[in-house]
């Protein structure tokens, strides 16, 4: 595979990942519109917020790629930096842990009170450093626990999926793209964990996405 082909595949993944991750959170840009926005175009009759979310997510993913290249370890600072790029449309909330209680509508779990967020995030990072779990299981559990803490007022889902990919890529796995069309299954993974303490559905979903990405690479290479 040539360098040009690799760059083309990376660009295609970035567009699809940005579209899907934002669409899960309610962004109205289509896949084609997302691609145009990332080329610098403005889509008529679409909110400025949706444009900024696309650009912010792209910049955050490029930042994640640089972290992988420079072998930077996951930390609270890294998480806040990723969130700051994701939430470029909300400057006052970027990289800042929430200061008010939140509820996730329809979820089996209530995120902790604001004063507990820094404590639980610190604990999550400590557990991450000493874990001996397989990378896929570890990334899945971190994602489930991070979203459960819901440390930011907005942008938790997008930030969480970016960190999930950071953890995978740091262990030489390809990044995955949780599809908007799979969102109900994705939500059910959280319900399974928060209701029954069972991370298996999320682990399985991530493993299946990884398998799909690896098959794509093999198809191209063969």
Considering the domain boundaries, does residue 29 fall inside one? Answer: yes
Mean pLDDT of 207-219: 90
Q: How many domains does the chain have?
A: 1
Residues 48-59 have a mean pLDDT of 98
pLDDT value at position 217? 78
- Is position 168 within any domain? yes
d(CA 219, CA 222): 6
pLDDT score of 92 more than 80: yes
Model confidence at 43: pLDDT above 80: yes
Closest CA to 213 of 165, 181, 163, 158: 165
| pLDDT for position 100 | 96
This prediction has a pTM of 0.95
Tell whether 102 is covered by a domain: no
pLDDT-derived band at 222, boundaries 50, 70, 90: low
Instruction: Write out the residue range of the structural domain in which residue 140 sits.
Output: 3-96+107-221
Cα–Cα distance measured from residue 28 to residue 26, given in angstroms and rounded to the nearest whole number: 6
Q: What is the DSSP string of 89-146?
A: T-GGGTT---SS----TT-S--PPPGGGHHHHHHHHHHHHHH--S-HHHHHHHHHHHH
**How far apart, in whole angstroms, are the C-alpha atoms of residue 206 and residue 120?**
24
Q: What CATH number is associated with residue 133?
A: 1.10.3290.10
Residue 101 lies in a domain: no
Note whether residue 206 is domain-resident.
yes
Predicted pLDDT of residue 9: 83
Q: Which residue has the tokens 């939500």?
A: 187
Residues forming the active site: 150
Neighbours of 73 (CB within 10 A): 10
Give the model confidence (pLDDT) of 165-180 as tens digits. 999 999 999 999 999 9
| pLDDT confidence of residue 42 | 96
């Amino acid at each position: 595979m040539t360098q040009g082909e690799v760059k083309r595949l990376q660009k295609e993944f970035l567009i699809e990942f940005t579209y899907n991750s934002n669409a899960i959170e309610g962004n109205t840009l289509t896949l084609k519109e997302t691609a145009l926005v990332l080329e610098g175009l403005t889509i008529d009759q679409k909110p400025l917020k949706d444009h900024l979310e696309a650009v912010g997510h792209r910049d955050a993913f490029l930042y994640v790629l640089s972290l992988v290249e420079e072998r930077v370890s996951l930390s609270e600072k890294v998480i806040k930096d990723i969130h700051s790029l994701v939430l470029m449309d909300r400057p006052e909330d970027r990289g800042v842990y929430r200061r008010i209680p939140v509820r996730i509508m329809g979820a089996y779990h209530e995120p902790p009170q604001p004063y507990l967020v820094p404590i639980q995030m610190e604990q999550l990072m400590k557990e991450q450093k000493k874990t001996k779990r397989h990378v896929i299981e570890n990334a899945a559990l971190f994602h489930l626990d991070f979203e459960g803490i819901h440390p930011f007022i907005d942008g938790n889902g997008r930030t969480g999926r970016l960190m999930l990919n950071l953890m995978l890529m740091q262990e030489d796995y390809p990044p995955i793209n949780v599809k908007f069309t799979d969102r109900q299954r994705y939500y059910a993974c959280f319900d399974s964990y928060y209701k029954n303490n069972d991370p298996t559905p999320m682990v399985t979903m991530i493993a299946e996405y990884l398998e799909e990405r690896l098959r794509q690479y093999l198809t191209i290479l063969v």
